Each structure stands twice: as C-alpha cells, then as structure tokens.
Structure 1
Amino acid sequence: MHAKTPLIRLSPRLAAGLVLCLVLTTLSGCGGLFSGSKTPPPTPQAPAPTPTVVTPAPPPTPVSQNTVAVLLPLGGPFRELGGKVQKGIKAAQDELAAAGTPLDVIVIDATQPDWVNTLRNLPPEVGVVGGPMHPLTLKELQSTGLLQSRVFLAFLSNLGEAREGIDAWRFFPSAADEIDALLRLSLTNYGINQFGILRPGDRYGQSMGEAFALATAQLGGQITATGVYSPQDATGWDATVLEMLKTGGGRPGFGAVFIPDDWTRADKVLANFFRNKVDDLLILGPQLWTEALYRAAANKTPININNYRLAVCPGAWWPESQGKATQDLLAAMHAVGEDHPDMWEALGYDFTRFAARLGRLPQGTPPQEVSSRLAQAAKGMDFSMAPLSYGPDGRAHVAMYLFRPSVAGPVLLDPEGFRQRLNAIRQKALENPAPETEQSYSPNPAPAAQPGAPVPTQPAQPAQPQPASPATVQPAQPASPAAPKPQQQQPAPLEPVPAHQRVMSVS
C-alpha cells in the first residue's frame, strides 16, 4: 500500500501574501529575506551644477586724492580773466591725471545769482576753495558767514576787512610784494635811501603811496618829497613835478622816485622830469607797468623807451623762465592755441597743483594748522609764476621778478649791469640814448651763450637775483650803432651814487 504525500492546502489569503512578498523581494529586497542574494542598486546622485563663468572685473577707476572748488567770475567784465584761470586749472588737471593723482575741481561762477547756495551746498569734504577774484564777492562771503565754513585762498592782492591768516588766506601777489621787490633793489642792493613819491590823487595812488612810505621807513629809508597830481587834469602835472624838484635847489633831494599809476598816464607824467633836465633818477613803477608792457609788445604798440633807461617794475610772471612748471604750462597752452599765456593762466595752473599737494583740510581745521599746512605745501613747489610762500602767521609772500621796460616788452633785470648803467648815467659818462640791447647794461658785455649751454633758471629771490651774463637771460642781439664802445680800462664804480649832489635835509 503506497503512502500518500500529504497535501498542504494554503488559504487563498496566505498564498496571495507569499506571491506579493516574492515580487517585492525581487524588486527591492522586501523584508530583507533575500538580501544576501541581491545587491541593491546605487542611490541616484543629483546632477552636478553647471560651472559659473567668471568675467574678469574691469580695473578700478582712479579715485581723486582730493576735491576742491574755485569761485571765478565767468561772466561780466572780469569773464576774460576768469576764463584764463579756468584754462590754467584744466591744464593742471590733465597733468595730474596723467601722473595718476587726479584732482576734482568744482567751478562755481560767481556772477550767477545762485552762486551762494551752490557754494553752501558743496559736499563737506570740499574744504578748500580757490578765490574769489573780486572784493565784492569776498564781502558777500563775509556777510553770509560762508567765509568761516571752508578755507578760502583768495586771488586778491588784499583781503579788505578779512584777517589774513585767520579768516582767509591769499594765493596772489600783494602791493607789499611789489614794494618789497623795488626797495630791496634800490635801498638794500644799491644803497639809495632817499625817495620821492609822485602819485595820482585817487584811492589806488594813495594806498600805494602810503604802503611805500611805511615800507621805506621800516627798512631805514626816507621819503624826502611827495607830489600829488590830479588824474584828470594834465595841465597841473608839470607844476607838481617842478615843486618836487625845488626841494633840492633845482635838483631833487632823492635818488629814486616811485610813481604808482597806470602806464598810459605815468608815461606822460614822467616826461616832466626830463623836461626839467632831470634824467638820472631811478624810476620805480608798479606791476601795472609790467602788465601794460606785455600788452604793448603783443599788440606791437610803440613806447617812448628813452624815458625808461633807468626804470624798473615788478611782475609775478616771466614766460622766458626755464623752470619746468613754466615750460610745461606754456606747452599746454600752446597745444590749445594760446600763444601768449599770462599770469592768470599761471595762477589757475599753480593753484590746482598746489591744492593737490595740500590735500584735504577738514572743516573746522584751526587757522594755525591751516597756515602750517599751506607753508609746508608751498615749500619746495615748482611754481610757474613767481615763487609763493607762507609765514607762520599765514600771510602770503610772492618773491616777484624785476623787469626793465623795452620795445620787446618786459626784460628780466640784470641788477649788476643795471647798477653800472645807473652809475654811468649819473656820472654823465653816456651821452647817447641807450640802445635797446641787454648788453648795453654793462660796460663789459659778455659773449653770447654757446648752443647747448645750460640756461639759468629763475632766481630764488627775484628781487635780488644773482649776477648773470645778460646774454644768458635772452638771446644776444646785435648792438646798436649808437652804442658806446666798452671802456674796459675804466670800469664803472662798484657802488651807485645814492642821491644827487644837493640832498634835502629832513626836518
């Protein structure tokens, strides 16, 4: 009898569960029953991010070392001068930018109605303002209280009621600078200690005459005669001069005369000395003469040069200077079509470069610190105009050049050659009119400079320049046929005649 295999009957629910488990195990290892026989698939990885393309950043824009403002008259009667200063500013900005030290300059037109608000709304970091150029603008700054808000470097010869070195500072030559140059030549260098003043009866003549008298007394000199004439009435000019000459018995009791008047009128007043047979005075003129001589030369206007054989006048601009700053400015001006730049372009050019050296001056900087910073910035600076410096009190001083008038315009004075001419004329050694060559100012003319020879730079103290060969100051010119031959065996005395034979005593 065969044994029967027992038949195991599964319930439908259990059978369905086993089938489902087998399917799940195959797919995902359900319950881990068959995990040893199947390797689970790797976990899907997230796709790698697309690499970012980095664009090289452009080089940073140069940041200005400083920002300053200038207050200029770009309209009205002074617009031409303001425009010249602006051209000088632009030339300096281009130069600074090329050197990698750019300077921002905010130009404010002082002839616009809203210039006060524009100035008041400047950013606080703008601590330095160049200008103003007009006394009325300076007065308005005082009345509005803006003069104390920033450091103003005024383009004015004086600050009126404002206190220099406290309320504001100057960046401009003064009348005192002009007089200082004239007196250092005549009194200090030449030993002339008695002076006459012949001036017009107007405000300018009075202020300049008083300043000259004060400076003369401070240096140990004397004013021995003063003549005041009407600017409008030419009929009295000769009488005024004659009255001055009577003080010395028909000869003036002074060796030099200061005539603070404009060139056109002074030229006519001066002729009265020669009409009265006085032709050996040292004639001292203001900077107005130098400016007029430049204009006359540019316009080819003739001048009566025989009246100015012994005349000198100061100036703050010498375009023949071989200094680098002057030559750079001339090149920049010529590049934009300016053939005859003058002191006003030099003023804007020097102020901008000076402001870059000065750096920022925060609002509220004490005046003493401002003056110290100004003095430090001016020290060693290569100016295109006459060198400017600041004293401990904040007062500016410009070491002005001295010129003699010529048909070609102002010519830088050779003090030693001029000394010899002064002596020769006073000794009546020269009877012919002075030829218009620089060599005629010395009995022993030096030979012309050879090509390639070094050109002398501007003197450190233009009022007392070092003796130099006249031919090195400007190209040699052919001597006039009227020129007297040099008398080498009889050199002129080393010291000038201080005054005339009869000198008026001072009571």
Structure 2
Amino acid sequence: MPFGHGGPAAKPRFAHMHATIKKNRRFPRLLAGLVACCFLAALAGCGGMFTGPQGPGEPTPPPAPPVQTEPAPPPKPVFANSVAVLLPLGGPFREFGGRVQKGIQAAQDALAKAGTPLEVHVIDGTQPGWVDAVRNLPPDVTVVGGPMHRLTLKELETAGMLQTRAFLAFMPSLGEAREGIDAWRFFPSAEDEIDALLRLAASDYGITQFAVLRPGDRYGQTMGDAFAGAVSRLGAQVTATGVYAPQDPSGWEATVADMLRTGGNRPGFGAVFVPDEWARADKVLPAFFKNKVDDLLILGPQLWTEALHRAATTKTQINIQNYRLAVCPGAWWPENQGQATQQLLAAMRAAGVEHPDMWEAVGFDFARMAARLGRLPQGAPPQEVSSRLAQAAAGMDFAMAPLSYTPDGKAHVSMYLFRPSVSGPVLLDPEGFRQRLNAIRQKALENPAPENEQSYSPAPAPLQGTPPQPVQGTPAQPVPATPTQPLAPVPAHRQALPVT
C-alpha cells in the first residue's frame, strides 16, 4: 500500500512522528533563554563574575595601576614684611658679616614659627654691582640693615641711595652722614661705651677728676676726645693726659710716669681711661704699679670685653693682678636669662655655633625689630622713620643690650659693665666693687686679690646681679650697669707724688 494511503493502523504512526518533531523545535528556544538569563544576571551583579564581592576561595584581581601625575609645587610663603641687608660676605670683614647673617636666619626661623614670616634680601657688599642690587630692590623693601663699613656707606651716599630707603647701619659711627637724617644706627657707639663708664665712675662713685692714657693713633684720639667731652658735660675734669707711641714699647713706662707726675696745685685724678686694645694695654698698665699707684679705677673700652670673651673661649690666661680695679663695657652678655638671649643661644647651638657673640645678636635683633617695625611708607620723611623706630624698639626684648632711639633718631645702647676675671668678663656688681675700691684706697685690704672668684664679690647676697626670670610674652629686664640708688662716694685717689 502506498505511503499515506494505508488503513486505520497508519494514523497513530503519523501522530507520534509529529509530536517528536514539535518537541525538538522547543529545545533551542529554552537553551537560548537560559544563556540570556545568565548573561543579564552577570551584568546585574548576580554570581559576582564581573563585579561585587568575591566568593570564598576566589582570587582577587590585581588593582589598576595608579595614574602618574606631576607633584603640585609647594605654595609660596606669604611674607608679612620684606627687608634687605647689606653685608660684607667676602673680604676681610666676611667673618663678621657671616655672623650677622646667621643671627638673621635664626630670627627668620623664630618669626616663621610665630606666624609672621619675614623675607630678607641679602646683598653682598663686596661683590661687583652691589649698588645696582640695592637700587633694584622691590619697591616695598623700604628698610635695609647695614652697611657695616664706612666706605660702603660713603658709596651709597655718593650714589644718592640714602634718600631712597631707611638704612640702619651696623656701625658705631656714620662718619660724615647725619644720624637720624641720612641714615640710622643699629649698633653701640663709642658714646654708649663712655656713657656706661661715667655712669659708674662719676654718677655713682662721685669721681670728678679723670685721666686719659691713650695710644697715639686715630682710635685712641677719637675715644680720648669723646671721653673728655662727656666728662666736661658732666661738670667733671680731665686733669691729665698721656699719649704713648703704640709701636714703641720702650717709651710706655716713661709716658705713664710723666702723666702721674704732679707739681704745684695741679689736682690728681681718681680714674684713668685707657682706650686701647687688650694686648697692648696689658703691657702698659704695670707702669702704674711700678710707680706705687694701685688705687686707680681703670676704665677700659669694649675692646677689652671682646678680648676677655675670646680668652675665656680659648682658655688663655690673663694677668688678673692688673685688673683688680678695672671695668669695661659690653653689649653682649651670654649669661642673660632673658627670653631673646636664650632663644638666640639655643638657635646658634643647633646651628653648630658654640660661642655666639654680639654680631649674631645684632642680626637676630635687627630682623626681629624689622618685623615689629613693619613696612615704612615709600619716601617717608626722616622724622617719621625716627618715630617708627622709637616705637618699635620700645619694650622690645633684645638679645644684646637694650637699644632705644631719641625723637631725632639717635640710637643709644644701654651697655652692660663687666669686670675682668680668670673666667672671662663677669657682670659688675657696683656695690661690691665700690667696697673693694674703698678698701684698697683705705689700705684696709692686707692680702690683695687672691686668685679666686669670691675675692671679687661682696659678702654672699641673694643672687646679686641675676635678673628675674622673664614672664612669657614680656621683654626681659636686663641687669642695669648701676644700681637705682646712688652709692656712697668713693674717697679721692691720693695725690700722686713727684717721680724722680
């Protein structure tokens, strides 16, 4: 029978075949749906195949490499003020200029920590083109510390630069420039030294007759003339003057003998001023003792104090017998417990400077006072500059001896007084020293000047000569060179006998 034309038995066979074919066509659809479901689930985070938390035991994919970016430059500091300094960083004065610069850097660090950073433009006055460097300073730099040498100041004056900015010279004198008009000082002067000596000898000890024994050089003449002028203004007298050749030691003793020789009604003197360097004065002073004069108050310059500091640092022995009645001024006292002095000492020790001196203190104090001074108006008249300087210096805690300005712009440093000792310069106790001077003059001291520190001080007292601890935020009060109450008068030096 042909296919499809069978009898009733052929119908079920056809139905079974149809069902089989229909079932097989449904399977690919189911498989495609399952794959699509898994794909969509993976995209949605199901199963964690691409994203989401890792299952237990599954490896962690490596992190993406960081994007390489250039580091951002540090922000430029915002300075509260900008000043300049003109220093000799080369040549014979480079050591002193370098010390001032170290003090300035220490002050900059302290000011930055206090939140008032100071920008300082440093100009080397020994390099070619330094005048142009000063001329091309930014307009807001109206204060310049320095110079430190009279020739540099003269060049500034010749170039017409002194009228463009306020120069605070680190010099004892401005030479031909007018202090308080052409420039200002930020340094002790010869007048400051003499003022400290006469405050003790004339004002406190009552000495009215003085002698001057000096070398025949420019320094000796300048200091001797300044001393005589200051004595005259106090109503006292210089009754004898001796001038010796600094390079001829053979005539020094004769010069002293001639000065001591008196005749007729010529008055004697109770103190002698010896403005000479320590090494030479040390050989001149024994001439007094050879002539049986050992009760004079001997007044030395700041040069002696500086030499005593060096001798103590190098442990050099000194002839202490020559200086039992000697005093000398100084602007640097490292034992001062004031906050500024101690801060400078700590900064210098951290920088490897074991024995800082007045030069570091000058730089340290200049930068700190410049921060207090603030920016001066361009073209400010001298009277305004002087007034602003006086205000900035008032109440400031100085590392060196306190500095002040008069209304007309004259600087004054209240210098300390020291006595020579085997351990260097020691701050003078005026009352104890007066007792010693009187005892020697009254011949009451049978065994003079034993070599120990106790013999140079009065009976033990509660820390005489030690300043009180400063209160935080207030300036330290330095120990004055003289007491507040006048001391008992010192008996007059005996009349010198004629020398044969």
Aligned to 1:223: 238
Q: Note if 1:421 corresponds to 2:439.
A: no
Match of 2:449 in 1: 434
Matched with 1:159 is 174
CA distance, structure 2, for counterparts of residue 241 and residue 385 of structure 1: 35
Match 2:142 to one of 127, 137, 150: 127
Separation in structure 1 between the aligned mates of residue 198 and residue 273 of structure 2, nearest angstrom = 10
Match of 1:194 in 2: 209
Matches within 5 A, 1:162-173: 162-173=177-188
Task: Output the CA distance in 2 between the equivalents of 1:419 and 1:232.
Answer: 35
Correspondence for 2:480: 462
| Aligned pair partner of 2:494 in 474, 495, 500 | 500
Cα deviation for residue 496 of structure 1 reads 1.4
Map Cα deviations across residues 308-351 of structure 1 (whole Å, 9 max, x no partner): 00000000000000000000000000111111000000000000
Shift of 1:459: 5.5
- Taking the aligned partners of 1:120 and 1:320, their CA distance within structure 2 comes to 41
CA distance in 2 between counterparts of 1:176 and 1:443 reads 30
1:123–1:237 CA distance, 2 compared to 1 (3 A)? same
Q: Is the 8 A contact 2:261 2:496 kept in 1?
A: no
Q: Does 1:81 align with 2:96?
A: yes
Match in the other structure for 1:412: 427
- Which structure 1 residue ranges, 4+ long, deviate > 6 Å from structure 2? 57-60, 249-252
Aligned to 1:292: 307
Correspondence for 1:51: none
What are the Cα deviations for residues 374-408 of structure 1, in whole angstroms up to 9, with x where unaligned?
Answer: 00000000000000000011000000000000111
> 1:363 and 1:461, CA in 2 relative to 1: closer, same or farther beyond 3 A?
farther
In 2, the alpha carbon distance for the partners of 1:233 and 1:59 equals 64
Cα distance 1:77–1:465, how it changes in 2: closer, same or farther (>3 A)? farther
Change beyond 3 A, Cα 1:133–1:96: same
CA distance in 2, matches of 1:95, 1:453: 23
1:141 positional shift: 0.5
For residues 158 and 462 of structure 2, the distance between their equivalents in structure 1, rounded to whole angstroms, comes to 60
Give, in whole Å, the separation in 2 of the partners of 1:105 and 1:133.
17
Q: Distance in 1 between matches of 2:408 and 2:390?
A: 10
Measured in 1, the distance between the counterparts of 2:325 and 2:266 equals 17
Percent of matched pairs sharing the same residue: 75
> Once the two structures are superposed, what CA deviation does each residue of 1:286-309 show, in whole Å capped at 9, x if it has no partner?
000000110111111111000000
Q: Structure 2: how far apart are the matches of 1:274 and 1:184?
A: 26
Which of 382, 397, 400 lines up with 2:412 in the alignment?
Answer: 397
Q: Does 1:278 align with 2:272?
A: no
With over 3 angstroms needed to count, the CA separation of the structure-2 counterparts of 1:209 and 1:459, relative to structure 1, is farther
- Contact 2:402/2:413, CA 8 A, preserved across alignment: yes
Q: Partners in 2 of 1:118 and 1:367 — Cα distance?
A: 23
Size of the aligned set, in residue pairs, is 421
Decide whether the 8 Å contact of 1:65 with 1:102 is kept in 2: yes
Task: Please tell me whether the aligned partners of residues 197 and 258 of structure 1 are also in contact (alpha carbons under 8 angstroms).
Answer: yes
Q: Which runs of 5 or more residues in structure 2 are unaligned? A: 1-71
- Report whether the alignment pairs 1:319 with 2:334: yes
Q: 1:98 to 1:282 in 2, by over 3 A?
A: same
Residue 162 of structure 2 aligns to a residue whose secondary structure is: helix
TM-score by length of 2: 0.80
Contact 2:213/2:272 (CA < 8 Å) preserved in 1? Answer: yes
Query: Which letter maps to 1:64?
Result: F
Work out the CA distance in 1 between the residues paired with 2:152 and 2:447: 51
Post-superposition CA distance 1:251-290 (Å, at most 9, x none): 9810000000000001111110011111100000000000
Residue 344 of structure 1 aligns with which residue? 359
